[in-house]
Structure 1
Amino acid sequence: MSAELLTLVHVVFSSRVAGGERHCIDLANAQAALGHRVHVVGKAGSAVADELAPGVQFHGMATPLLRGWRVARLARRLGAQVCHGHLGPACRAVAQVPDVARVGTLHVGYKAHQHQRLDGLVCVNRTQHDGLPQRQGLASVIYNWAPERLASGSAASCLRQELGLGREQLLVGCIGRLHPTKGMDLLVKAFLANAPRDAVLLLVGEGPQAPRLEQLAGGDPRVRLLGFRHDMDRVLRSLDLVVSASHEEAFPLVILEAMRAGRPVLSTATQGPREMLAGQPARLVPVGDELALGQALAEELERLRRIAPEARAVRYATGAYDRGAAVARTVGFYRDVIRHRLAEQALPHDDEVLAGWQV
């Protein structure tokens, strides 16, 4: 089976593209480039469809009714060997698909009602894997990677010009969905109370907390809400410090992208960053601690001010997050799950088998 090209169906029911969706897109594109027959099922009109490679076929669903049954019917028609769910609603639908290897990635974390019926789980950090309950099926730790983006020829200085900032002004950025779980309200308060008067905080993304963040900023020009940006690499190259103030993160792609761009990172010590940044030249602070976050911000900005802008880049060890290796491991995991399913089906029905999650 090792040389066999597979028919793969990824499922992600999101209208917009954030971290989990970005990973699904890049994984599907990479698998198609290897010659696999790759399909993505999602919401009709989703932004996901616009970023898929020509070799990946998108199937849009106009209504959420009977998603599991409809995904199962499509998988059967396509002759799929693997259905791979991304995020909760997709994993619930994939769990209802018979006669295929049903895989889910824990972009957020394990939830029994979403994941317990799946044949295989991709854990994005070691803590997730070690905390899995004893269930029948396979599990593997496969780290995410910084997804490939279209190259931008714009210089980083252009963003500063766009924002009307001087070369010496310190630019702090927080990138992600504007949602209470991301802790941006905490960051705004900590920044306004502790950052130098000429520093600027960029909040990059969209989401329901935008009005609250605008209110907290109180019209202070040091806090800018940029909305969604397509030129993320350009944004990252412009930042002097990337901050994640989240209350929960399994594997934040923005931190990995910041590492790839060589930007200094300050993060709350959530599950993913604790593992990603262990032994790296980055700084962690307790989750939900506004005082600690503010103090760390002040200290990091004071440290960076003493360094020339062109010398602020940081070198990280990112070998564990290689795209090609992770894609190959994911396909290998699919094959393991297929073999495991076949072995399970060959067992006598009256046997009681307690396999447990296996690496």
Structure 2
Amino acid sequence: MKPLRVIHLLDDVAPGGVMQALAIYDHPGLTDLQTSRVVQVMPDRPWAPRLEADVILTHFPPRWRALPFLAVLRARNPQARLIHVEHSYTGAWEAHCVPHRRRFRTMLRQAYRLFDDVVAVSHGQREWLEQAVGISRHRLRVISPWSDVPDLATIAPSDGACRRPLVVGAYGRFAEQKGFDRLIEAFRELDPQRYTLRLGGFGPQEAALRAAAADLPHVCFVGAVSDRAAFLAQCDVIAVPSRWEAFGLVATEARQAARALLVANVDGLPEQLGEAGVRVDFSSPYGLRDSLAALDEGSLTELGRKARASVVGLTEARLEAWRHLLSGDAR
């Protein structure tokens, strides 16, 4: 059988979570089934290309201005299965960013009708999509992103007794979504002799974040994180204080690195915990303080071991899910 011709449509091909997630298509576990390539498009213009493809996946968020593009894409490619991967919209995103909920959901319903299948990246996101948009279960799948960062599996679990102060790590884009401002404010309630924050990344909020931490000696900015394994190895616990987060690859990478997790109770983050950490109310000035106080020296190592155990077989599960969906076996 000839490999499926798969094309991924993106409106932004800058390095980031979406581009990282596409690496799974180059995995040997999928290359026998399909060949894929990325095509950058401008969905706010009403023209869509005709593509030599068996499967077309869109990875940009639907919006009113993109509806004509999606309709033309469907009309010009009747031979292809259209699959949308929803990387962006969630219940928490809607609560924070959408002033007119009914109008927004009407747009989503019109957009999703043009696709054969819709992929949610977490069960939390899927539940919201079912409730908010009414997508039928046979068209809505859950396939979480995959992260293949070298050397994470070789990092030893943290031993909190060997290092003081305890190092809390966080990394990602410095933007409102990621909630790093809340994390910095929470560190005002923490003793510098007991806790240090290592904050990695860059983005539009960097100047504001640095200003907020100017009088906090236990908050350290380390710049862009080009070596995630090295960064994670220097931390005892990883915090993910996002205001909204469809999935959160940082949490998966932390689990692969055997690091305990402190995550916000939003969207897809809680389902990554298992026994690897705790949910934290980052909107409270004392939420982080109380959660850290509950972690004793022995529990960090044990949580790290459970975190790594929770990702055993993860790659194989992601590959199998995509094989089923692309080949049509999931129907």
TM-score when scaled to structure 1? 0.71
Q: In the alignment, which of 224, 234, 244 is matched to residue 238 of structure 1?
A: 234
List per-residue Cα deviations over 1:241-286 (Å, max 9, x = no partner): 10011111121111011111110111111121222214x1311123
Secondary structure in 1 aligned to 2:199?
Answer: strand
List per-residue Cα deviations over 1:116-157 (Å, max 9, x = no partner): 232211112223323323347711122333x113459x989x
Secondary structure in 2 aligned to 1:174?
Answer: strand
Q: Confirm whether residue 297 of structure 1 aligns to residue 292 of structure 2.
A: yes
Q: Gaps spanning 5+ residues in structure 1: where?
A: 43-60, 157-165, 341-359
Secondary structure in 2 aligned to 1:16?
Answer: coil
Q: Confirm whether residue 274 of structure 1 aligns to residue 250 of structure 2.
A: no
Larger Rg: 1
Q: In the alignment, which of 238, 251, 254 is matched to residue 250 of structure 2?
A: 254
Secondary structure in 2 aligned to 1:220?
Answer: coil
- Residue 32 of structure 1 and its aligned partner are, at CA, apart by 6.0
Find the aligned partners of 1:231 and 1:256 in 2 and give their Cα distance: 16
- Residue 319 of structure 1 and its aligned partner are, at CA, apart by 5.0
- Residue 238 of structure 1 and its aligned partner are, at CA, apart by 1.6
Q: In the alignment, which of 16, 30, 34 is matched to residue 18 of structure 1?
A: 16
Q: Confirm whether residue 286 of structure 1 aligns to residue 287 of structure 2.
A: no
Task: Tell me: CA distance 1:94–1:225, structure 2 relative to 1, closer, same or farther (3 Å).
Answer: farther
Q: In the alignment, residue 29 of structure 1 is paired with which amino acid?
A: D
Task: Tell me: CA distance 1:321–1:109, structure 2 relative to 1, closer, same or farther (3 Å).
Answer: farther
How many residues of Structure 1 are paired with residues of Structure 2 in the alignment? Answer: 296
Q: In the alignment, residue 314 of structure 1 is paired with which amino acid?
A: R
2:88 is matched with 108
- Residue 95 of structure 1 and its aligned partner are, at CA, apart by 5.8
Secondary structure in 2 aligned to 1:229?
Answer: coil
1:7 is matched with 5
Superposition map of 1:167-246 within 5 A: 167-197=163-193, 199-246=195-242
Secondary structure in 1 aligned to 2:58?
Answer: strand
Using the aligned pairs only, state the percent identity: 23
Q: In the alignment, residue 61 of structure 2 is paired with which amino acid?
A: G
Find the aligned partners of 1:124 and 1:226 in 2 and give their Cα distance: 29
Find the aligned partners of 2:225 and 2:311 in 1 and give their Cα distance: 27
Is the Cα contact below 8 Å between 1:205 and 1:227 reproduced in 2?
A: yes
Task: Tell me: CA distance 1:12–1:321, structure 2 relative to 1, closer, same or farther (3 Å).
Answer: farther
2:149 is matched with 149
Q: In the alignment, residue 316 of structure 2 is paired with which amino acid?
A: G
- Residue 96 of structure 1 and its aligned partner are, at CA, apart by 4.0
Find the aligned partners of 2:56 and 2:182 in 1 and give their Cα distance: 39
- Residue 218 of structure 1 and its aligned partner are, at CA, apart by 1.1
Is the Cα contact below 8 Å between 2:13 and 2:19 reproduced in 1?
A: no
Is the Cα contact below 8 Å between 1:196 and 1:298 reproduced in 2?
A: no
**CA RMSD between the two structures:** 3.3
Q: Gaps spanning 5+ residues in structure 2: where?
A: 91-103, 157-161
Is the Cα contact below 8 Å between 1:143 and 1:320 reproduced in 2?
A: no
2:26 is matched with 29
Is the Cα contact below 8 Å between 1:176 and 1:182 reproduced in 2?
A: yes
Is the Cα contact below 8 Å between 1:82 and 1:101 reproduced in 2?
A: yes
